[in-house]
Structure 1
Amino acid sequence: MMLFDRSLIRSRRKRCAAYYLHDPFVHHEAEARLMDRIMCINKHFERVVVIGATSTEWRNLPNIGTCIFADLVAERLPQDSSLRLLCDEEWLPFAPHSLDAIISILTLHHLNDCVGALIQMRHALIPDGLMSCVTYGARSLHEVRSALTHAEMQRTGGITPRISPFMEVRDAGALLQRTGYALPVIDSDLLNITYPSLHALLHELRQSGEQNALIERSKSFTAPQLFMDASQYYHEHFSDAEHRLHATIELLFMNGWNPHHTQQQPSRRGSGTQSLRTLLEE
Structure 2
Amino acid sequence: MQPRLTDPAALARNRQRARPDALFLFEAARDDLQDRLTLVNRSFTAPAVVTGQPQIWDNALPGATIVADCETLALAPQAHDLVLHSHALHWAEDPVGQLIQCRRALRPDGFFLASLFGGRTLQELRASLASAEAEVTGGLSPRVAPMAEIRDMGGLLQRAGFALPVADAFTLTVTYASALHLMRDLRAMGEGNALDARLRRPTRRAVLLRAAEIYAETHADAEGRIPASFEILVLTGWAPDESQPQPLRPGSAKARLADALATRETKLID
Question: Quick check: TM above 0.5?
Answer: yes
- Residue 126 (structure 1) shift: 0.3
1:138 to 2:115 alignment: no
- Residue 51 (structure 1) shift: 2.4
Alignment match, 1:68: 65
Cα deviation, 1:185-213, whole Å, max 9, x if unaligned, reads 11111111000011110011111110111
In the alignment, is the contact (CA less than 8 A) between 2:67 and 2:73 conserved in 1? no
* Match of residue 6, structure 2, among 4, 7, 24: 4
- Residue 277 (structure 1) shift: 2.5
Rounded to whole Å, the distance in 2 between the matches of 1:4 and 1:23 is 22
Secondary structure of the residue that 2:203 maps to in structure 1? Answer: coil
1:226 to 2:228 alignment: no
- Residue 157 (structure 1) shift: 2.5
Moved >4 Å (runs of 4+): none
Paired residue type of 1:44: S
- Residue 56 (structure 1) shift: 3.3
Alignment match, 2:174: 193
More RCO (CA 8 Å, sep 6+): 2
Paired residue type of 2:27: H
Paired residue type of 2:113: S
In the alignment, is the contact (CA less than 8 A) between 2:136 and 2:206 conserved in 1? no
Paired residue type of 1:70: V
Rounded to whole Å, the distance in 2 between the matches of 1:117 and 1:55 is 19
* Match of residue 56, structure 1, among 58, 64, 77: 58
In the alignment, is the contact (CA less than 8 A) between 2:22 and 2:185 conserved in 1? no
Secondary structure of the residue that 2:45 maps to in structure 1? Answer: strand
Rounded to whole Å, the distance in 1 between the matches of 2:169 and 2:24 is 17
Alignment match, 1:152: 133
Alignment match, 1:47: 46
Rounded to whole Å, the distance in 1 between the matches of 2:94 and 2:61 is 29
In the alignment, is the contact (CA less than 8 A) between 2:86 and 2:115 conserved in 1? yes
* Match of residue 103, structure 1, among 79, 84, 95: 84
- Residue 68 (structure 1) shift: 1.9
Rounded to whole Å, the distance in 2 between the matches of 1:182 and 1:276 is 26
- Residue 57 (structure 1) shift: 4.5
Alignment match, 2:268: none
Rounded to whole Å, the distance in 2 between the matches of 1:273 and 1:31 is 44
Paired residue type of 2:196: I
Cα deviation, 1:147-167, whole Å, max 9, x if unaligned, reads 001111112232111111111
Alignment match, 1:36: 35
In the alignment, is the contact (CA less than 8 A) between 2:128 and 2:214 conserved in 1? yes
Secondary structure of the residue that 2:154 maps to in structure 1? Answer: helix
1:163-174 matched pairs, under 5 angstroms: 163-174=144-155
1:179-258 matched pairs, under 5 angstroms: 179-258=160-239
Question: How many residues align structurally?
Answer: 258
Paired residue type of 1:206: R
Rounded to whole Å, the distance in 2 between the matches of 1:238 and 1:161 is 22
Gaps of 5+ in 2: 264-270
Cα deviation, 1:8-35, whole Å, max 9, x if unaligned, reads 111221232xx13x44111111111111
Rounded to whole Å, the distance in 2 between the matches of 1:26 and 1:59 is 18
- Residue 238 (structure 1) shift: 1.0
Rounded to whole Å, the distance in 1 between the matches of 2:202 and 2:77 is 47
The normalised TM-score by structure 2 is: 0.91
Cα 1:251–1:229 change in 2 (3 A) is same
Paired residue type of 2:50: I
The normalised TM-score by structure 1 is: 0.87
Secondary structure of the residue that 2:61 maps to in structure 1? Answer: helix
Rounded to whole Å, the distance in 1 between the matches of 2:74 and 2:119 is 30
- Residue 232 (structure 1) shift: 0.8
Cα deviation, 1:214-257, whole Å, max 9, x if unaligned, reads 11111133211111111111001111000001000001000111
1:274 to 2:255 alignment: yes
Paired residue type of 1:240: D
